[in-house]
Amino acid sequence: MEFWSSQKLEDEIMKETRNLSLVMDFYELTMSQCYFNLDKNREVVFDLFYRHNPEDGGLCIFAGLEQVIEYVKNLHFEKEEIEYLRSLNQFTDEFLEYLSTVRFTGDIYAIPEGTPVFPYEPLVRVKAPIIEAQLVETALLLALNHQTLIATKARRIVQASDGRAVMEFGARRAHNFDAAIYGARAAYIVGCAGSATTYAGKEYGLPVLGTMAHSFIQSFDSEYDAFLYYAKTYPESCTLLIDTYSTLKSGIKNAIKVAKDYLEPNGYRLKGVRIDSGDMAYLSKKVRKELDAAGLEDCQIVVSNSLDEYVITSLIHQQGAKIDSFGVGENLICSKNSPVFGGVYKLVAIEKDGKIIPKIKISDNVEKVTNPGLKKLYRIIDKETNMAQADLMALWDEELDESKDLTIYHPMSRWKYKVIPAGSYILKELLVPIFIRGEQVYEEPTLDEIRAYCAEQLEYIWEEIKRFEYPQEYYVDLTEKLLTLKLEMLNEYK
Amino acid sequence: MEFWSSQKLEDEIMKETRNLSLVMDFYELTMSQCYFNLDKNREVVFDLFYRHNPEDGGLCIFAGLEQVIEYVKNLHFEKEEIEYLRSLNQFTDEFLEYLSTVRFTGDIYAIPEGTPVFPYEPLVRVKAPIIEAQLVETALLLALNHQTLIATKARRIVQASDGRAVMEFGARRAHNFDAAIYGARAAYIVGCAGSATTYAGKEYGLPVLGTMAHSFIQSFDSEYDAFLYYAKTYPESCTLLIDTYSTLKSGIKNAIKVAKDYLEPNGYRLKGVRIDSGDMAYLSKKVRKELDAAGLEDCQIVVSNSLDEYVITSLIHQQGAKIDSFGVGENLICSKNSPVFGGVYKLVAIEKDGKIIPKIKISDNVEKVTNPGLKKLYRIIDKETNMAQADLMALWDEELDESKDLTIYHPMSRWKYKVIPAGSYILKELLVPIFIRGEQVYEEPTLDEIRAYCAEQLEYIWEEIKRFEYPQEYYVDLTEKLLTLKLEMLNEYK
């Protein structure tokens, strides 16, 4: 809190970045003015969750929390924002005065980044005075929707690559600067080897990669001259782009020639060749043969032309392509097959006369009915297999005891339940405190720590959930107490 | 140039924003080091163009130039960027020293924002020392790819809405902050009435719009109470969200009651009702009837549930829905059906011994062959109809004379040509100077000017090009001189 007390320090720190606080839907502000007049200190609880896995997949990877923390810590309106809002003639001086001092003072719990997550479970829970809870809505959604989308897509591509390196090459097709930067970050979390986006390398310490474009080759009198010059400049990390004129007729031949003429006599090896067009299966096999015949067995083949998890799977498993690593662009950075991640932010409880009252959103559409109340979320790990069996939502004040049988219920049906025997399971709580009364209590892991955590957490998930085609559904169930509350509330509305 | 001369001033100005200069593919830097060692002053020419209209449409709307200008003007590397690059152990001290002083000193010509554009024509032409031309590549592509994609999609949605207002509501599903902000900007250019993204309103002066979320209604004891409170707070602009519980059984009835109980006795009218779920055709017709029966003929109906140009067309033309305006989210802000815009940046000429030598990129795939040389681009307007007939690429030094017949050629075939009679046409040059020798010479229009320009330029385009289903192809042809050069260069490679 000391931080905010020094206006001068604050002003200086804020100058270094854009103030993104106003990246919010305008209705957050129109609603807030009503709340301000009515009872601005009333506490509410919102859950952030999603309903469907992109591409009919079996899971998502949660990402973007670091950006949320940044937004929430920075949330404030400076003079220019206040004056802009005043110019719209919809807000009173009293409300604007209040806005100019507003900070986030509530509690946020969230699942750590890199965790496999599933539909309907709360990924983030915000408990805060109603205005503050509303003001952060849009930013939370957009940051988490974006990075979770890209992490989820990139994980599929990494899985398809079956141990081969995947490099994120998509900046030029990203939906603007942030999408390039944070997309590179999300891709690294799930195991991409690095990115071509230099800014992301500087900002997050992830490996940056890249060698040359076709224009580089064209700018020389011959392909051989271009290769030779590049080899002389980067003898230790020489990867050559071989498809500018003809991969087989000229590219691979010139690459081998440079390896023999210059690299080997000087004690270096040709590190790799990259193919960016044509039939990857056919070309990679031909190129591998030529390289091996020239004694360049250690030279890697990198390919990079409209790849995604399906093309990669086919190349590796159906076509026997000889590829060591993949550069993936637009299909990853735009999640082209499924470019929208539908995270939502729903009111689940509200303070009334000092008590937290659960709220439910009714809909004719059963899948749009929300799970009411302030909740906890557990992952149930089976002791014998050490695999995740299901996730379980419980009410905040429930005490679950691992030494007792655990009964978990389908989120809408009392008759569909399962009993997990005492002693056979471990409960891992997934929502951890990030902000308590406005203060950050969460120590943010480094990106490499998040990446390692993601790999570790994926080990708990059955392959049947991770496959692309008709994955097994992972259960996100309710305790009896939560289901009873939900069904009672539904009956009440009827 | 005065600006740059004051290091102190520069430092202060830079502090206010992120330095995005390093948002570039790493290969721009590895190539640049080679060019630095070789001949860093050599001039090259790059064209930025695209090959396919998204969603098999007939045109795109060019957008994002303002952001490009900002990037190019700001391009520079501060100490922290240089030190980061040094830490990678791939760059020499001499090159890094050079990078720390680099500024863009070349020429950029571009089509003004808001112009309808077509495949293969140069949207931007960069003529600059080779390193500088390379360093701006990624940022130019990502800024223009993104905003052109969204402007193109939003134009389709505006067209489908047939004069009804379209509001951009997509921030929460955008690919992060920039995508929300610049997406709102692009949508406004093509005629959206405004956006819910408050930051975009402040930054660009576009109208911001929004009223309330379902959570607002839920936070009150009853829907009626929520509506009444909102009406009292915003009596002049009261639009009520009527689908939280049941649009027909409760929402519309409570809205009318609040109009009668509070608004009308106090001299106000209910401005609108918004429906965000359910069957838009059925509900809007029912709601219209109830409003009219209550004497609220001037109350507007706003709908906002997974809309796009196809749904809107069907609602208006096949289903007779009674809708006054549309709020469009994810389908617009992510261009969901076609989320990748494939703009490319290709070398078309290079300086050699003081002369500019045309370059061509050969490919087995005919559509990937580039148009060589430093070029001009014209739109041919037919005098009789005042409609655009075709676009025409010419070599830089060609003089075209409107008082003579004009022969235009298919981009690959000498036998496919058309003669446009002397006096029947006007030539409009599309590429205008933006930077000359590194100095901005282009006076940037305001966003409202761009919007007006876009509407005006769209008037020149036949409806047959603008329709969604199997649009007529718009011709982008070559002069004889350019075609001859291209065919000669292709033959040479053979």
- Closest-CA distance of chain B to residue A245, Å: 7
SS3 B127: strand
- The answer to whether the CB of A137 falls within 8 A of the CB of A46 is yes
- The Cα–Cα gap between A140 and A145 comes to 8
Q: Residue B23, CB half-sphere, CA atoms under 13 Å: how many?
A: 28
In which band, very low, low, confident or very high, does the pLDDT at A296 lie, cut at 50, 70 and 90? Answer: very high
Smallest CA–CA distance from B33 into chain A, residue: A233
For residue A313, the distance in angstroms to the closest alpha carbon of chain B comes to: 22
CA gap A354, A375 in Å, rounded: 18
On the question of pLDDT at B14 being above 50, the answer is: no
Q: How far is CA B487 from the centre of its chain?
A: 33
**In the predicted model, is pLDDT for residue B6 greater than 60?**
no
Q: In the predicted model, is pLDDT for residue A224 greater than 60?
A: yes
Tell me the shortest Cα–Cα distance from B216 to chain A, in angstroms. Answer: 7
CA distance A492 to A359: 12
User: Which of B213, B345, B362 is closest, CB to CB, to A245?
Assistant: B362
* B342 DSSP assignment: -
B402-452 pLDDT, tens digit each: 999 999 999 999 999 999 999 999 999 999 999 999 999 999 999 999 999
Confidence of residue A263 (pLDDT cuts 50, 70, 90): very high
pLDDT over 90 percentage in chain B: 91
To which residue do tokens 């009596």 refer?
A: B235
DSSP 8-state assignment for residue A386: T
- Judge whether A301 and A323 are in contact, CB under 8 Å: yes
A81 contacts on B by Cβ (under 8 Å): 202
Could you tell me the CA-to-CA distances from B2 to A181, B6, B10, B102, B437 in Å, in that order? 32, 7, 10, 16, 15
Amino acid at B443: E
pLDDT digits (tens, 9 = 90+) for B132-190: 999 999 999 999 999 999 999 999 999 999 999 999 999 999 999 999 999 999 999 99
Substitution target in A49, A126, A219 with the highest count of B β-carbons within 10 Å is A219
pLDDT tens, position by position, B327-364: 999 999 999 999 999 999 999 999 888 898 999 988 77
- The three state secondary structure string of B205-259 is CCCECCCCCHHHHHCCCCHHHHHHHHHHHCHHHCEEECCCCCHHHHHHHHHHHHH
Quote the CA–CA distance of A228 and A238 in Å, as a whole number. Answer: 10
CA distance B77 to B423: 52
pLDDT at position A10, please? Answer: 40
pLDDT at residue A13, rounded to an integer: 38
Residues 6+ positions from B449 with CB-CB distance below 8 Å: none
CB pairs < 8 Å spanning A and B: 294
Least CB–CB distance from A230: residue in B34, B88, B180? B34
- The DSSP annotation for A410-446 comes to ETTEEEEEEEE-TTSEEEEE--EEEEETTEE-PPPPP
What are the structural domains, with CATH classification, of chain A? 2-150+339-493 (3.20.140.10), 155-333 (3.20.20.70)
Q: How far apart are CA A185 and CA A182, in angstroms?
A: 5
User: How high is the pLDDT of residue B352?
Assistant: 87
Residue A494: its pLDDT value, please? 73
What would the pLDDT profile of A307-364 be if each residue is shown by its tens digit? 999 999 999 999 999 999 999 999 999 999 999 999 999 999 998 888 989 999 887 6
Contact A179 B176 (CB under 8 A): yes
Q: Which residues of B touch A234 (CB under 8 A)?
A: 30, 90
Task: State the smallest CA–CA distance between residue B102 and chain A in angstroms.
Answer: 17
What number of residues does chain B have? 494
Structure tokens at B412: 């690959």
- Look at residue B14 and give its three-state secondary structure: helix
Residues of A in contact with B244 (CB under 8 A): 361
Q: Where are the strands (E) in B304-405, listed by range?
A: 325-328, 344-352, 355-358, 375-382, 387-395
DSSP string, A247-313: IIIIIHHHHHHHIIIIIGGGT----EEEE-SS-HHHHHHHHHHHHHHTT-TT-EEEE-SS--HHHHH
Of B20, B85, B211, the CB nearest to A177: B20
CB contact under 8 A, B26 and A210: yes
Count CB-CB contacts under 10 A for residue B275: 23
Q: Does B99 score more than 70 pLDDT? A: yes
Which residue, among A139, A21, A126, has the nearest Cα to A76 in the 3D structure?
Answer: A21
Residues of B in contact with A130 (CB under 8 A): 219
Identify each DSSP E strand in A162-268 by its residue range. 165-168, 194-195, 239-241
- Whether A18 and B22 lie within 8 Å, measured CB to CB: no
At A1, is the pLDDT very low, low, confident or very high (cuts 50, 70, 90)?
Answer: very low
Cα(A20)–Cα(A3) distance, integer angstroms: 19
Q: Which token pair is A242?
A: 């071989």
**Amino acid, res. B455:** A
Using one digit for the tens of pLDDT, what is the confidence trace for A419-438? 999 999 999 999 999 999 99
Chain A CB contacts of B212 below 8 Å: 27, 30-31
Residues of A in contact with B218 (CB under 8 A): 347, 350, 359, 361
Tens digits of residue pLDDT in B24-52: 999 999 999 999 999 888 999 999 999 99
Which among B11, B13, B26 is the top mutation candidate for probing chain A, defined by the most A β-carbons within 10 Å of its own β-carbon? B26
Chain A, nearest residue to B346 by Cα: A215
Task: Find chain A residues with C-beta within 8 A of B146's C-beta.
Answer: 174-176, 179
Across the interface, of B81, B342, B359, the residue whose CB is closest to A218 is B359
Residue B2 has what pLDDT?
37
User: Is residue B56's pLDDT more than 60?
Assistant: yes
Task: Note the pLDDT of residue B305.
Answer: 86
**Helix, strand, coil percentages for chain A (3-state, nearest 5):** 45, 20, 35
Q: Give tens-digit pLDDT for B218-276.
A: 999 999 999 999 999 999 999 999 999 999 999 999 999 999 999 999 999 999 999 99
Per-residue confidence band for A17, with pLDDT thresholds at 50, 70 and 90 = low
Pick from A100-114, A197-211, A350-364, B287-301: least confident: A350-364
The percent of residues in chain A predicted with pLDDT above 70, rounded, is 96
Q: Is B118 exposed, middle or buried (0-12, 13-18, 19+ CB in 10 A)?
A: buried
Q: Residue B200 is inside which H or E element, if any?
A: helix B198-204
The interface predicted TM-score (ipTM) is 0.95
pLDDT for the residue B17: 64
The 10 Å CB-count burial string (b at 16+, else e) for A176-203 is bbbbbbbbbbbbbbbbbbbbbbbbbbbb
pLDDT tens track for A466-476: 999 999 999 99
- Give residue-wise pLDDT tens across range B392-406: 999 999 999 999 999
Nearest chain A CA: its distance from B174 CA (Å): 6
Tell me the per-residue pLDDT of A120-146, one tens digit each, with 9 for 90 and over: 999 999 999 999 999 999 999 999 999
Confidence category of residue B79, pLDDT binned at 50, 70, 90: very high
Higher pLDDT, A482 or B368: A482
Indicate yes or no: CB of B20 within 8 angstroms of CB of A199. Answer: yes
Tokens of A130: 């109603």
Taking contacts as CB-CB distances below 8 angstroms, the residues of chain B near A330 are 340, 342
Does residue A91 carry a pLDDT above 50? yes
Chain B residues whose beta carbon lies within 8 Å of the beta carbon of residue A38: 229
Question: What are residue B322's phi and psi, to 5 degrees?
Answer: -105, 80
Q: Does residue B12 register a pLDDT over 70? A: no
Segment among A227-236, A291-300, A356-365, B387-396 with least mean pLDDT: A356-365
Give dist(CA B41, CA B133) in Å, integer. Answer: 11
Residue with tokens 């070599």: B395
Would you say the C-alpha torsion B422, B426, B431, B434 has a positive or negative sign? Answer: positive
pLDDT for position A344: 97
Note whether B474 and B390 are within 8 A (CB): yes
Best to test chain A binding among B219, B230, B274, B351 (most A CBs inside 10 Å): B219
Q: What is the mean pLDDT of residues A388-416?
A: 96
Checking if the pLDDT of B488 tops 50, the result is: yes
| Mean pLDDT across chain B | 94
Confidence class for position B98, pLDDT limits 50, 70, 90: very high
Residue A492 has pLDDT above 90, yes or no: no
> Angle formed by the axes of helices B177-189 and A177-189, to 10°?
150
What is the reported pLDDT for A159? 98
Model confidence over A25-70: pLDDT tens digits?
Answer: 999 999 999 999 998 889 999 999 999 999 999 999 999 999 999 9
Q: Residue A30 and residue B212: Cβ atoms within 8 Å?
A: yes
Cβ–Cβ below 8 Å for B277 and A363? yes
Give the pLDDT confidence score for residue B70 in this predicted structure.
96
